[in-house]
Structure 1
Amino acid sequence: MSDATTAGGLRIAIMTDETGWHTARLKKAFRARGAEARCVDLAACRIDTSWSPYGLAIPGFARDLPDAVFVRGIAGGTFEQVTLRLGILHALRECGVPVYNDARAIERSVDKSMTSFLLHRAGVPTPPAWATESAAFAQRVLMRETAAARQVVLKPLFGSQGKGLRRLGANPVNGALKPLPPLRGYSEVAYLQRFVGSTRARHRGHDWRVLVIGGRAFAAMRRIGGRGWIHNVARGARCERAELDPTLATLAERATAALGLDYAGVDLIPDPTTPDATGGPLVLEVNGVAAWRGLQSVTSVDIAAALVDDLLDRKLAASEAPAQPVMPHHAGG
């Protein structure tokens, strides 16, 4: 491989199931570093043990492997299809190819229950969550939270952009209970997260998205409005630049580290139960294949260039560093 600082001659695979604004920005940023980037669909890759010398076939790279991989998107599919696509990423890592983010980190972030577990285990403030295959247990959680004048949000275990979210519990207007829907629409798994709302007007109707790159909080925005209580940009939320105060930055960095991600989009929301003026925050979700078009619209720094620099200067450089020799241990004086 070539020196990661100049990146001359490097060939990069951008794993994505669709090309567009994000991939164009990434390819431009790689070109600026002297590297050639090619978009590859993981669905077109294969494990092929007759394919010398690696047993992996990556379209566009003949019998070679890319020098590094940037994971921009993984298409949905059957359990077997997604397992194979993640298996390709695992195999690339086993072959010594730096994968940004790697399969294990993506698996942790795409599974909302595992995200909640790892955030809780790391002591990162996050709303209480429950994941179960038992509709009866989920109903008991709903009844208990409703009795305490709280609501819960039912989410698909795997999902993004605010799709499939349902807010359950007593209606604050008329007190009517919104029951647990059949779980067949959620692949027979109930992932429930305590709803975080605020009665304070100054905090109503927004959350934060913080982009973390290479372990450091890079930029932040407020997402305001949207469709009802869901603040995703894909659901009509308006983006507004936000200052990266130490609390937001530290929480986003801790959340990213808890999941082992190279880069992440961390969603945070004000906690109405805290007495301080900032009202929190709590980490709601961590996205390991984060989009940044909305964030780029409110910041002047080139996000794609920052991601590419981190991949080449930190991730790739670390993989090229020679291993330190292990000194033999001699007992006695």
Structure 2
Amino acid sequence: MTRIAIMTDETGWHTSRLRKAFRARGVEARCVDLADCRIDTTWKPHGLAIPGFGHTLPDAVFVRGIAGGTFEQVTLRLGILHALRESGVPVYNDARAIERSVDKSMTSFLLNRYGVPTPATWAGESSAFAQRVLMRERAAGRKLVMKPLFGSQGKGLQLLGDDACEPLPSLESFGKVAYLQRYVDGGEPGFDWRVLVIGTRAVAAMKRVGGDGWIHNFARGAACEAAELTPSFADVAVRASAALGLDYAGVDLIASAASDERPLVLEVNGVAAWRGLQSVTSFDIATLLVDDLLDGKLAASQRAMTFASGHGRA
């Protein structure tokens, strides 16, 4: 029987849906906390100890959540995912892709590099440079959003530029890093879009309306509304996911009220939740995710191993 590890620091609605979808495919899925895994070179034959799998490794890994912690703890947890991939275990999404999506500056760099439309962004450690960016943007009648380099659910965001005398916030509360993104006015009522990409397809979309002022996260009180997935939004979302090398992604987009509605990518989530989107979607999202992992990434890995084995015998 195929055995899957669902990496998560908490069990609940998402893991329940995933396990149900795996059971429907005749697959055993176990929830495992990365904090309980370890690299152990005496643990033969792989040097990796994954709770619930003894001295074997899972056939594949679905990354549902990675708990926060010290820099060292998070590094080790990501290291476990790297080690699994190095051991031939398909990881969905793998550590490298997650690292790209968690670091907002790298996300912005890759989106820009691959021509995915995204707001102008600046990231650096110089408060003097960040202050000059704020003054220049404010003089042009534009606002900026200052964000923590790491973080999600709209936490810690500050809108800058309303007050002509407003100084740049202290970088101390932002980990001594300034990440600034040009603010995009979505008009009234305020909303943005969340598009879910699985594999190479955008499968569903919703509008996140209202929330905490100009922040439209579901976790901050925004209402989820079903939305038609237009070709332009689907194309941009798929390109954003591909730019970061993600197997599945939640892509946040916005269309400026002052533009021709060309969507811009605000953020890309590599450990995307989908409870809000599921509430306005008729098909089962967990089933699509499980099918893509089993029929796509795992199947491709098994074909490659079979080819390599046959080529070696030849």
The alpha-carbon deviation at position 213 of structure 1 amounts to 0.3
Partners in 1 of 2:122 and 2:71 — Cα distance? 22
Letter in 2 for 1:17: D
Letter in 2 for 1:323: F
1:211 and 2:190 correspond: no
Contact 1:169 1:179 in 2 (8 A): no
Q: Structure 1 177/272 Cα, relative in aligned 2: closer, same or farther at 3 Å? A: farther
Letter in 2 for 1:282: L
Residue in 1 that maps onto 2:296: 314
1:183-225 deviation line (CA, Å, top 9, x unaligned): 1111111111111114x44xx4010000000110010000000
Contact 1:154 1:167 in 2 (8 A): yes
5+ residue gaps in structure 1? Answer: 1-8, 327-333
Contact 1:168 1:177 in 2 (8 A): no
Q: Secondary structure at the match of 1:17?
A: coil
| Matches for 1:1-333 after TM superposition, within 5 Å | 9-171=1-163, 176-198=164-186, 200-201=187-188, 204-274=189-259, 276=260, 279-321=261-303, 322-323=306-307
Contact 1:101 1:262 in 2 (8 A): yes
What TM-score, normalized by structure 1, do the two folds share? Answer: 0.90
Contact 1:272 1:280 in 2 (8 A): no
State the aligned residue count.
Answer: 308
User: Which structure's residues are more often helix, by fraction?
Assistant: 2
Partners in 2 of 1:302 and 1:37 — Cα distance? 18
The alpha-carbon deviation at position 323 of structure 1 amounts to 3.0
* Identity, % of aligned positions: 75
Partners in 1 of 2:283 and 2:114 — Cα distance? 31
Partners in 1 of 2:136 and 2:76 — Cα distance? 40
Partners in 2 of 1:135 and 1:157 — Cα distance? 15
Partners in 2 of 1:185 and 1:32 — Cα distance? 46
RMSD: 1.2
Q: Which has the larger radius of gyration?
A: 1
5+ residue gaps in structure 2? Answer: none
1:48-97 deviation line (CA, Å, top 9, x unaligned): 00100000000111111001100000011111111100000000000000
